[in-house]
């Protein structure tokens, strides 16, 4: 079974990634599982650049196939903030209840058509000695007018998906993992990986 490292320290992401990639003939290790504890400086100017930085750093370090996820929430009314700064928004260690409450407050009394937002996820796949490949997934929605739901992580309790009339934190994990930005990016990366592993 082929070992693949997923270069993330975010446990919420890792849980979803494992659920979405379940059934593939791979041994998927988080950074923690692989015994890697390094701080990668994410100084790219896009989700794609940051995903490549993370995947290539760990691929160089280990010589293994490495995947990395860079993702975030773009809110149109806030000029696409927090965007690539989603994890660092209002401080890396600030509880999400505080971050989410702040965003709801910023959008107070703003009409629905101006509350548009999207989750974006770019996954980079780095093979030793080869070019890194990326795939991006997006889910469109709105900023809810109140916090709702306790599933998922991060900004899920304020991200409202009109098709399902609830936030991504109200959804069962199985549903979020079918329709999310991360699900879409990972489905596309699955094809890249399958092709690569078949051609070896
Ligand atoms: P790694 O770099 O270790 O993977 P991180 O949390 O720092 O972890 P990012 O820089 O990609 O990762 O920031 C992603 C942030 O975007 C994440 O911390 C959440 O705040 C937000 N986010 C991304 N996907 C999300 C999702 O599915 N649901 C809720 N929030 C999400």
- pLDDT of 49 reads 98
Query: Predicted confidence band at 196 (pLDDT cuts at 50, 70, 90)?
Result: confident
Q: Which of ligand 1's atoms lies nearest the C-alpha of 99?
A: 20
Mean pLDDT score of the chain: 96
Query: 200 pLDDT exceeds 80?
Result: no
- Does the beta carbon of 47 sit less than 6 angstroms from any atom of ligand 1? no
Helices 181-198 and 11-21: crossing angle, nearest 10°? 60
CB-based contacts of 172, cutoff 8 Å, min separation 6: 151
Q: Which residues pair with 74 in a beta bridge?
A: 82, 118
Structural domain range at position 27 = 2-198
- Note the pLDDT tens digit of each residue in 71-113: 999 999 999 999 999 999 999 999 999 999 999 999 999 999 9
Residue 42 Cα, ligand 1 centroid: separation in angstroms?
Answer: 12
Torsion of CA 165, 169, 90, 124, to 10 degrees: -100
Residue 85 Cα, ligand 1 centroid: separation in angstroms?
Answer: 9
Query: Predicted confidence band at 197 (pLDDT cuts at 50, 70, 90)?
Result: confident
Give pTM, 2 decimals: 0.97
Domains: count for the chain? 1
Q: Looking at residue 114, which CATH number applies to its domain?
A: 3.90.950.10
């Amino acid at each position: 079974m082929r070992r693949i490292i997923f270069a993330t320290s975010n446990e919420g992401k890792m849980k979803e990634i494992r659920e979405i990639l379940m059934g593939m003939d791979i041994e998927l290790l988080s950074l923690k599982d692989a015994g890697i504890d390094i701080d990668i400086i994410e100084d790219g100017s896009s989700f794609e650049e940051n995903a490549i930085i993370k995947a290539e750093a760990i691929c160089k370090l280990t010589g293994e196939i490495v995947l990395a996820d860079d993702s975030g929430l773009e809110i149109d009314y806030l000029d696409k903030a927090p965007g690539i700064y989603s994890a660092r928004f209002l401080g890396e260690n600030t509880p999400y209840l505080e971050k989410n409450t702040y965003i709801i407050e910023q959008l107070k009394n703003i009409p629905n058509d101006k509350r548009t937002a999207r989750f974006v996820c770019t996954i980079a796949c780095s093979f030793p000695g080869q070019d890194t490949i990326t795939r991006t997934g997006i889910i469109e929605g709105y900023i809810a007018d109140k916090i709702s739901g306790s599933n998922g992580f991060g900004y899920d309790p304020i991200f409202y998906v009109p098709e399902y009339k609830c936030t991504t934190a109200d959804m069962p994990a199985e549903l979020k993992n079918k329709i999310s930005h991360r699900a879409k990016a990972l489905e596309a990366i699955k094809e890249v990986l399958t092709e690569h592993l078949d051609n070896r």
